[in-house]
Structure 1
Amino acid sequence: MQQSVLKLSKPLLFTAVAVWLATGQAMAQSAGNAYRAEIVLLERIVAPEDVEEQMANRRVQPQPELPSQLVVTDANGNSHSTLRLVPKHEMTLSRAADRLVNSGRYKVLMTAGWYQSFPPNYNGQPMQVAVGDWLPEAGMREVEGTITIDRQRFLHVGVELNHWQPMPQTSQPQQTELQTGQPESVAAMASGGELQGAGSIEIMDEPQLNAELLTWIRETRRMRSEEIHFLDSPTIGVLVLFKKIGG
């Protein structure tokens, strides 16, 4: 019995080899840009009246609904995400979050882990976040905003989160100063690293109608793979970790 043998002309052979090499290179590059992204949002257990850096008179509009949602919890307590999230027990940050919770000073509002490729010059879309207690008079969650992931030479995470509280019966506009300091011992409990504080801003605005701003996070941080990063305000904090997959 004769076996058929496929013979390619030199031009076709060169083309096939070029396609094979290009495909292999693309797969290698994709693998080299693949990460498991992990984000944990925590609330610091502190009475609102004990927070000196209050921002009740800062005018900030609540975050509207976005097509990209990290974790959004509706009024009925149902959480949604446009990402395929991995189970919490697969996340490295779950252990770091447990250490913070066991300290008695934090509670977890959100955990999110997923696999994604972040190639160079990647411009991510803001991902909506809405978690924490439901504020019925305001019609929103107490912590809401966006988290954005970009990559130029390095990965960057931009956090814009607002921490709201119900509007008190009497609220007078006043001038206040926000100090964006870091809660002590967070690095030791979570990862052992050192955290850096920020400056201050002077603000004076009218209060919100149905809820007032307690604190916020406005920070963009360069990420190092395999390192736990902590971005925070006096009342909420965000743990972030990127683990490179293969490559």
Structure 2
Amino acid sequence: MKKPNHHRSVFLTLALLIFSLPVLAEDPWYKVEVLVFAHNSQPAMKEQAWRDEEVPRRAGAVELGNGGNGAYQRLPGSNLVLTAEKNRLAGQAAYRTLFHGAWYQPVGRESSARPVHIRGGNLMANGVYELDGYVSIDRGRFLHFRPDLYYSFAAPASSNDGYGSSILSANLDTPRRMRSDEIHYLDHPLFGVLVLIQR
């Protein structure tokens, strides 16, 4: 009778332990599409006391590239879904597109979310773009879209406005719970955001 091979038994035991360990799943990837547009509303500019706010710089923020289908790379126009909405806005004098882009990214918990830096529109006299800021996305039971966007504009001409700067800013920083494959609208008196997140 052959004696059991001790080394083989140890190997089989280790193999069973390794394969029985839980596999750590990577964060799933989503396609994120964002359309930001300005409301050309002079009354809204005058009705509230807007300030000249400086856009914060976030450490670890991701800059969108133009390198194809990898993570955080802007996708070509043929991959955009909100083009019809963009065209409808372009047909109305009250609206003007500031940013329209899409990219793929992994989406995990809020603690691991990386803000994505986006900017668009015209370059202002103070050296900043009309639209500047960040968006971050995380997921729990639902997806969460967290904007921190700044829209800069020329102060309305008025001798009694009391503005201390010729360029003012409006901030949109209201998080929104979302479902994938649904278009969501975030409203602001001076600009709006359409968001579509797809698995």
Please state if 1:148 is matched with 2:105. Answer: no
Query: C-alpha distance in 1, partners of 2:181/2:54?
Result: 33
Measure how far apart 1:52 and its partner are: 6.1
Task: Kindly indicate whether structure 1 or structure 2 has the higher relative contact order, using CA contacts under 8 Å at least 6 residues apart.
Answer: 1
Question: What residue is the counterpart of 1:63 in the other structure?
Answer: 55
Instruction: Output the amino acid matched with 1:61.
Output: E
Question: What residue is the counterpart of 2:4 in the other structure?
Answer: none
Structure 1 contact 62–145 (Cα < 8 Å) conserved: no
Query: C-alpha distance in 2, partners of 1:111/1:222?
Result: 21
Instruction: Output the amino acid matched with 2:187.
Output: D
Measure how far apart 1:61 and its partner are: 2.4
2:179 aligned to 224, 230, 235, which one? 224
Q: Give the 3-state SS of the residue equivalent to 1:115 in structure 2.
A: strand
Query: C-alpha distance in 1, partners of 2:82/2:18?
Result: 40
Measure how far apart 1:231 and its partner are: 0.6
Tell me the percent identity. 24
Query: C-alpha distance in 1, partners of 2:90/2:18?
Result: 52
Say what the alpha-carbon RMSD is for the aligned residues.
3.2
Question: What residue is the counterpart of 1:197 in the other structure?
Answer: none
Question: What residue is the counterpart of 1:166 in the other structure?
Answer: 154
2:104 aligned to 109, 115, 120, which one? 115
Instruction: Output the amino acid matched with 1:62.
Output: E
Deviations 1:22-77 (A, max 9, x none): 58x44xx337x221111111223x2x42336643x3335211444524569xxxxx
Instruction: Output the amino acid matched with 1:143.
Output: L
Measure how far apart 1:163 and its partner are: 2.2
The aligned length equals 186
Report matched runs for 1:22-171 at 5 Å: 25-26=23-24, 29-30=25-26, 33-44=28-39, 46=40, 48-51=41-44, 54-55=47-48, 57-66=49-58, 67-69=60-62, 83-103=72-92, 105-136=94-125, 138-167=126-155, 168=157, 170=159
Query: C-alpha distance in 1, partners of 2:21/2:91?
Result: 50
Structure 2 residue runs of 5 or longer lacking an equivalent are 1-6, 66-70
Structure 1 residue runs of 5 or longer lacking an equivalent are 1-7, 73-81, 174-206
Relative to structure 1, is the Cα distance of residues 147 and 60 closer, same or farther in structure 2, using a 3 angstrom cutoff?
A: farther
Query: C-alpha distance in 2, partners of 1:152/1:218?
Result: 20
Structure 1 contact 71–112 (Cα < 8 Å) conserved: no
Q: Give the 3-state SS of the residue equivalent to 2:146 in structure 1.
A: strand
Query: C-alpha distance in 2, partners of 1:208/1:9?
Result: 80
Instruction: Give the TM-score of the pair, scaled to structure 1.
Output: 0.61
1:209 aligned to 145, 165, 170, which one? 165
Query: C-alpha distance in 2, partners of 1:14/1:63?
Result: 57
Measure how far apart 1:11 and its partner are: 3.7
